[in-house]
Structure 1
Amino acid sequence: MNLKEALKQLVDIREEIKLLNKKIKKLESKSQEIVCDVVDSTTKSPVMLCHTKIYGQDARIQKRIEKYRDILSTRYDKLLEIQIDLEKFIDQLPTSRIRRIFTYRYIDQLSWIKIANLMGPNATVDSIRKEHDRILQKNKYCPFCPEKK
């Protein structure tokens, strides 16, 4: 995967992180206690029936929930690491102008026309895109993409 492809995935990575966060919270709410009503009798005379509630957790279900939570947590950690690396790359770009272009394009998901308008009256769509492409040509390969690790 090259750097441009990785940067294009930044918004999707953020959304997937939010989704995984919701799934993990939902799993935590599922791991509640199970309550069961049982009819019991006394062993001494007079024999009387009484209702007893048994509280506990189903161990099999808990194990499955824990395994699934581990899978989600691992994926969450990997995505968070990629997001941090991509944003760190944007923060380390040489000039403020280029950082703004990359932030508008990959974090805010703006079109080239909107970016040119935000960059000022002397900026054209083509000039903004060319500056962007020059930086990507210099940094063609993604140093922190999963395939490289």
Structure 2
Amino acid sequence: MDKSILEDYIDACEFIKETEAEIKRLKKKRRKVIDKVRGSNPDFPYEPRSFSIAGTTETYAEKELIQSEEHILEVQKRRAEELKIGVEEWMENIPFRMKRIIKYKFFHRLSWEETATLMGRKCTAASVKMEFQRFMKEI
């Protein structure tokens, strides 16, 4: 695990949200049309009946295009979710102090000074940064 993957984690989380919104937008593009028509019963007594008809307004080419777009988005979303799960599994195996440092610095995008303030116990920006760098070298 390296620093760039931690930064990619944030982007992966945002990408998942954006992709889900894009997929919803594509699904809304499929407009359904519902109408009623009148006809007669095919069997005796030939009384009038009302039938509901439903369908979509898209053409076959549009449908193929939308499905391929959805498939591409699903694949990208799956890759982002795999990265997210990998980082979360790695985070389970590290000390709590380092989890807090990573959470503040990378997930909340705080500066080293702000991270040190939140860590408490007379931490300085340099000490927290050095602790993080040593931890990453050990991995």
Tell me which residue corresponds to 2:66. 65
Q: Distance in 2 between matches of 1:34 and 1:62?
A: 15
1:90/1:103 contact within 8 Å kept: no
Q: CA deviation at 1:79?
A: 0.3
Aligned to 1:103: 103
Q: CA deviation at 1:28?
A: 0.6
In structure 1, the residue corresponding to 2:123 is in which secondary structure? coil
Q: Distance in 1 between matches of 2:87 and 2:104?
A: 14
Q: In 2, Cα distance between the equivalents of 1:33 and 1:13?
A: 33
1:72-120 CA distance string (max 9 Å, x none): 0010010011011112212211x21111111111222211111100111
Which residue number corresponds to residue 74 of structure 1?
Answer: 75
Cross-structure match for 1:120? 120
Name the % identity.
28
1:56 paired with 2:79, answer no
Secondary structure at the aligned position of 1:56 is classed as: strand
- Whole-Å separation in 2 of the counterparts to 1:56 and 1:99: 52
Tell me the equivalent position of 2:4.
Answer: 5
Q: Given the two structures, how large is their TM-score scaled by the length of structure 2?
A: 0.78
* Equivalent in the alignment of 2:37: none
Deviation at residue 34 of structure 1 after TM alignment = 5.5
Higher relative contact order (CA 8 A, sep 6+): 1
Consecutive unaligned residues of structure 2, counting only runs of 5 or more, are: 35-52
> What is the alpha-carbon distance in structure 1 between the residues aligned to residue 92 and residue 108 of structure 2?
15
Give the whole-Å Cα distance in 2 for the aligned partners of 1:90 and 1:119.
Answer: 18
| Residues 83-102 of structure 1 aligned to structure 2 (within 5 Å) | 83-93=84-94, 95-102=95-102
Match of 2:41 in 1: none
Q: Which amino acid aligns with 2:111?
A: S
Contact 1:90 1:102 in 2 (8 A): no
Instruction: Give the alignment of 1:4-43 within 5 angstroms.
Output: 4-33=3-32
Question: In structure 2, what is the equivalent of residue 136 of structure 1?
Answer: 136
